Amino acid sequence: MIVVGFDGSDHARRALGWATEQARMRGVELRVVTAIPKASASFWPAMPAVDSEGTEKRTRQQIDAAIRELGDALEGVRVTRQVVREEHPARALCRAAEDAELLVVGSRGRGGFSGLMLGSTSQQATAYAPCPVTVVREEH
């Protein structure tokens, strides 16, 4: 199985495409994992509580749309989706990858530090994942 992290960003979409190709070539399942962090992790304590059910529904719709965009590239690939609620994305990805042969992440996600070469989630995944990790970078 190949696990790919997906947060809806352009980097995550590229990672999903690359992971799909690898899953097809290897003949293994592709698991698309998205983590919805705890509302308490917000830097803005005055913000209203997060509607986690609504967020999860929108997240699943976003995953489904990205998978549909892959079209024929998915032929022969079994895809499963996993939305993890209230867990840090890097931790959720590492737990999901416990029985995977590969974890794939984009180099940056939705974080606000666009000048960084590697986002915090991808950096932590490379440090702590229980399997090999591929970080898919921007196309130049």
Cα angle 48-36-63, degrees, rounded to a multiple of 5: 120
Residue 137: CB partners within 8 Å, gap ≥ 6? 107
Q: Which residue has the higher pLDDT, 43 or 33?
A: 33
For residue 113, pLDDT beyond 80: no
For residue 33, pLDDT beyond 90: yes
Domain residues for the domain of 8 are 2-136
The per-residue pLDDT for 120 is: 80
| Total tally of structural domains belonging to the chain | 1
Q: How many CB atoms lie within 10 A of CB 112?
A: 5
CATH number at residue 64: 3.40.50.620
Q: Please give the Cα distance from 120 to 135 (Å, whole number).
A: 12
**What residue type is assigned to position 83 of the chain?**
V
For residue 43, pLDDT beyond 80: no
For residue 60, pLDDT beyond 70: yes
Q: Please give the Cα distance from 120 to 105 (Å, whole number).
A: 11
Q: What is the pTM of this model?
A: 0.82
Q: 3-state SS string over 116-140?
A: CCCCHHHHHHHHHCCCCEEEECCCC
The per-residue pLDDT for 42 is: 46
Q: Please give the Cα distance from 116 to 54 (Å, whole number).
A: 31
Place of tokens 């840090």: 88
Per DSSP, 47 falls in state: S
Q: Which of 45-49, 72-76, 82-86, 128-132 has the lowest mean pLDDT?
A: 45-49
The per-residue pLDDT for 112 is: 45
Q: Which of 53-57, 73-77, 128-132 has the lowest mean pLDDT?
A: 53-57
